[in-house]
Structure 1
Amino acid sequence: MADSDEDFVLSSSGDDRPKGRGGAANSRRSTRKSKRADGAPAPGATKREKWEDIQRSWDNVVEGADGSIAGTVIGLLEATKRKRLLRDTTPIQRGIIRHLVLILDLSSAMLEKDLRPTRFLLTLRYARDFVTEYFEQNPISQLSIIGMHDGLALRISDMGGNPADHLTALQEKAFTVEPKGASSLQNALEMGRAELFHTPTHGTREVLLIFGALSSSDPGDIHDTISSLVEDRIQVRIVGLAAQVAVCRELVMKTNDGDESGYGVILDEGHYRELMMAATTPPSHKDRRKERPKSPHDGIPLPNR
């Protein structure tokens, strides 16, 4: 009696034999038929779907030896920083000594959850990252933080060059302040103008405003405040969290010589961080010193003594 395994090997050995000339020719002929003359796939050929070519952000994530992705996250942040610094390669003169007032919206509009976990908590986290990045890029500059809370201006930290003081103040406000009431652009800008009024003229005067509301509750005419900011040579940049507001656009244009690129409305969390960190790069330096008004005594020689 023949072995059953041997019968199976003998019966299947014909399928494993290499194809002859006829088989190879048939395979080449079928390959030609699968493509048309213009290079497009034939109607019967397998078509690749568009979703198969999508590049997903987690495909390039590599875990470290401890199983975490902290190294990959740090690498992405460093790549974003290099991209921001190399974006404008035009040789221009930038301000070295900066005086910047960071104004945070602490109104009830910051309780919205369109940014996770909330606008308020994400803003505080980005504000801490901003303070660290700001002093890394501008080691001899100074910073002050103000909040818009319940229709008033709330001083969070005074003008100073120690990042630890600002980080501590932000940490304390995260547990003691709850977003409440309306925001007041005029009160916050007036307090920021008072912070920058006595700064020396050889440094820049800047305001970065994080605005989450769509309206402002002001005690007076905000256009008077805008005129005062223009007169004091204070540049204002605004990051909007909801939508574009006409008065914010006018504020940025008038304080930046008609340039409205300093006003941006976020699209998502990543865009929010990008717009905020863009303010850590020193602005282009301009001779913004006020000319001394002419006196009626100019040109008259002084008497000899």
Structure 2
Amino acid sequence: MADDEPDPKEYRWETGYEKTWEAIKEDEDGLVEGLVAEFAQKAARKAATPRRGPVRLGMMRHLLVAIDCSEAMSCQDLKPMRFLCTLKLLEKFIEEFFDQNPLSQLGIIAMKNKRAEKVTELSGNIRKHVKAVQGMSTVALTGEPSLQNTLELAGRVLRPLPSHASRELLVLFASLTTCDPGDINTTIQALKTDGIRCSVIGLAAEVRICKKLCQDTGGEYGVVLDDVHYRSLLLECTAPPPRARALDAGLVKMGFPHTAPPAALPDAGSADPPITVCMCHLEEGEGVGGEGHLCPQCRSKYCSLPAQCRTCGLTLASAPHLARSYHHLFPVEPYEELKNEGQAQYCFACLRNFTDLDKQIYRCGRCHEYYCWECECAVTISVHVCPGCAARPRLYQRLPDGAAHR
């Protein structure tokens, strides 16, 4: 009878729960609030993007995102299924990509039925890309993907681009096979020669040809564990990659447009105001009249910045866009992690009083102000500016050797 009894530890996930319960320990008051805060702090610190060090970065990026639309995307290991989860995370990725890289351009490619089709052209229009991603929810998931056709299409799009901008391809690959018309190794070598950096995020398992593609072109390869890990792998692609050594530095001609006010209503007996058409929505037939940004070289109107002028080819941007790209070159210096021994009463950023739950606090090495772990993560990931140093910019000026003086 004893042999017929089921093993209490028959399933592997049960032992995982036992390890979780062993890690949970109550404090003196019988509460676990401090432990929960510690877990959240470790998770936030782990999600922070690692610093690359003093390397040259490609600030102007041209990124193509290839989405697998084959039958493999219909699996439900990522809820509700791989394809819908990918589209939802891709919307957040597009917004974060242009927030971190305002001077860059992005395009979307669909992989299905052994073909590669362009969904959107390379542009900096966020709304256009998000609308296209939302419209892909009705795409029929059929056939097999062709990795070689996708690489060939990406090469034709990225090869003519100027050398001062980085050329990248990100493949969201769910299939374990690829149907290619020829030798894919020849295509990989051509991309390597052209300096096109290819990265792959696998949704199923590690595929050898994808790993070889990333190794030869200098990209990153990762396989998702769940939707949270999927999101972190996507957000890692928002940071600009190291610039290729073969590319030389050069001057880039840019324009800072003037804002055109909306045309005033015509008075009685006066001539009608001129009709202006926005070049961003010229194909959709929208953008007639209203406010806009005029190109300083050809006077074409655009409703949003940054943009590439369709008339003269000038890169149009504003001063805040350059400032937002600047933080990648000079990141905030890492804060010093200290034990909370009462040396500070409150966080300088959020003005929250430190309690016994705050076992670790952080101090800036330049302004010597103290911060909680939440503000430290916000400064590192989102703000990119130390509040204490920004409050007194004249007292702490950055010298060429990285030192500070009063």
TM-score over 0.5 for the alignment?
A: yes
Report the AA paired with residue 206 of structure 1: E
State the alpha-carbon separation in 1 of the partners of residues 181 and 160 from structure 2.
Answer: 24
Q: 1:143 to 1:55 in 2, by over 3 A?
A: farther
Report the AA paired with residue 240 of structure 2: P
CA contact (8 A) 2:112 2:142 kept: yes
**Alpha-carbon distance, 1:151 to partner:** 1.1
CA contact (8 A) 1:209 1:239 kept: yes
* Mapping 1:218-237, distance limit 5 Å: 218-237=180-199
State the alpha-carbon separation in 2 of the partners of residues 51 and 160 from structure 1.
Answer: 46
Report the AA paired with residue 243 of structure 2: H
* Mapping 1:118-137, distance limit 5 Å: 118-137=81-100
Computed over aligned residues only, the root mean square deviation of the Cα atoms, in angstroms, reads 2.6
User: Which of 137, 149, 161 is 1:187 aligned to?
Assistant: 149
1:158 matches 2:121: yes
Q: 1:200 to 1:211 in 2, by over 3 A?
A: same
CA contact (8 A) 1:108 1:182 kept: yes
**Alpha-carbon distance, 1:90 to partner:** 2.1
- 2:303 is matched with which residue? none
* Mapping 1:259-298, distance limit 5 Å: 262-289=220-247
User: Which of 169, 182, 203 is 1:241 aligned to?
Assistant: 203
- 1:255 is matched with which residue? 217
- 1:91 is matched with which residue? 54
State the alpha-carbon separation in 1 of the partners of residues 151 and 187 from structure 2.
Answer: 7
1:172 matches 2:135: yes
Q: 1:51 to 1:180 in 2, by over 3 A?
A: closer
State the alpha-carbon separation in 2 of the partners of residues 230 and 263 from structure 1.
Answer: 16
**Alpha-carbon distance, 1:269 to partner:** 1.2
Unaligned runs of 5+ in 2: 1-17, 26-31, 34-39, 249-406
State the alpha-carbon separation in 1 of the partners of residues 20 and 130 from structure 2.
Answer: 44
State the alpha-carbon separation in 2 of the partners of residues 272 and 178 from structure 1.
Answer: 23
State the alpha-carbon separation in 2 of the partners of residues 275 and 107 from structure 1.
Answer: 21
Report the AA paired with residue 217 of structure 1: C
Report the AA paired with residue 226 of structure 1: I
Cα-to-partner distance string for 1:205-260 (whole Å, 9 max, x where unaligned): 1111110000000111111110110111101111011111111111111111xxx7
Report the AA paired with residue 140 of structure 1: L
TM-score norm. by structure 2 comes to 0.51
**Alpha-carbon distance, 1:289 to partner:** 3.2
**Alpha-carbon distance, 1:287 to partner:** 2.3
State the alpha-carbon separation in 2 of the partners of residues 281 and 213 from structure 1.
Answer: 26
Select the structure that is richer in helix: 1
State the alpha-carbon separation in 1 of the partners of residues 201 and 147 from structure 2.
Answer: 13
**Alpha-carbon distance, 1:80 to partner:** 5.0
1:114 matches 2:77: yes
State the alpha-carbon separation in 1 of the partners of residues 88 and 110 from structure 2.
Answer: 15
**Alpha-carbon distance, 1:93 to partner:** 2.3
- 2:370 is matched with which residue? none
- 1:23 is matched with which residue? none
Q: 1:55 to 1:273 in 2, by over 3 A?
A: farther
Q: 1:84 to 1:50 in 2, by over 3 A?
A: closer
Cα-to-partner distance string for 1:140-174 (whole Å, 9 max, x where unaligned): 10011001011111211101111111111111111
SS, match of residue 236 in structure 1: strand
**Alpha-carbon distance, 1:55 to partner:** 5.0
CA contact (8 A) 2:47 2:232 kept: no
SS, match of residue 216 in structure 2: helix
SS, match of residue 253 in structure 1: helix
| Structure with larger Rg | 1
SS, match of residue 48 in structure 2: helix
State the alpha-carbon separation in 1 of the partners of residues 105 and 224 from structure 2.
Answer: 26
**Alpha-carbon distance, 1:81 to partner:** 9.4
1:203 matches 2:161: no
Q: Which gives a bigger RCO, structure 1 or 2 (Cα 8 Å, sep 6+)?
A: 1
State the alpha-carbon separation in 2 of the partners of residues 55 and 156 from structure 1.
Answer: 48
Report the AA paired with residue 130 of structure 1: F
Q: 1:50 to 1:97 in 2, by over 3 A?
A: closer
Unaligned runs of 5+ in 1: 1-48, 61-75, 291-305
State the alpha-carbon separation in 1 of the partners of residues 69 and 20 from structure 2.
Answer: 42
**Alpha-carbon distance, 1:194 to partner:** 1.2
State the alpha-carbon separation in 2 of the partners of residues 52 and 154 from structure 1.
Answer: 49
CA contact (8 A) 1:236 1:255 kept: yes
Of stretches 233-242 and 90-99 in structure 1, the one that deviates more from structure 2 is 90-99
